[in-house]
Amino acid sequence: MIAFRHGDSRFPFLWEDDAQPPARWHRAGEGPVQYLSDTPTGAWAEFLRHEEITDESDLEGISRAMWAVRIDDSSFSSPQLPDATLRGGIETYTACQDEAAKLRNDGAAAARTRSAALYEGAARGWRVEHGLQPGHDADGQVYILFGPRPEAVGWCVVSQGRPPAGLLALVRPL
């Protein structure tokens, strides 16, 4: 399966050690944990939400790489948390980190859940029918990969880009 990840273009597309800052699905020192999305829209939305970017003028200063990454899709666990926790703000991170630790302790190598960053249906993408038209509503997915992934292959789609302004309306504020 192909998943998408944004990143600082000065660095590789995946973390290799536990020096990464804590986030929704891991505490400090529990990494590496790789976060990817099922669509480029989702990857950009996760970045915008994390950085609390809500104003179009703030997009001008963004310069990030977007990667398409081939990952193994055979072994995803599902976090067993209420939707409000899965999609909540920073105050829900502890519950998500506890759930991720439980999944890892139970042998999970990866998890899949709904995107906290996108509104429902906002991962719809586009289609062409008498011009550009919105695709059918789709909920974005986030893939959480526990540990280093030297087998993952990535392709840099854009080395220094920024999300389109229209994406701001699809992002759930943190």
Q: Find tokens 């990535």 and name the residue.
A: 154
- In tens, the pLDDT along 61-78 reads 999 999 999 998 778 999
- In tens, the pLDDT along 160-173 reads 999 999 999 999 99
Q: Which domain holds residue 25?
A: 2-170
Number of domains present in the structure of the chain: 1
Question: What element of type H or E holds 145?
Answer: strand 141-146
- 169 near 46, Cβ under 8 Å? no
How many C-beta neighbours within 10 Å does residue 71 have? Answer: 21
pLDDT at 75: 86
Asked if omega into 163 is within 30° of 0 (cis), the reply is no
Arithmetic mean of pLDDT, 42-71: 95
CA 14 from centre of chain: 12
Which one has a higher pLDDT value, 74 or 23?
A: 23
As a whole number of Å, the CA-based R_g of the chain is 16
Say whether 23 sits in a helix, a strand or coil: strand
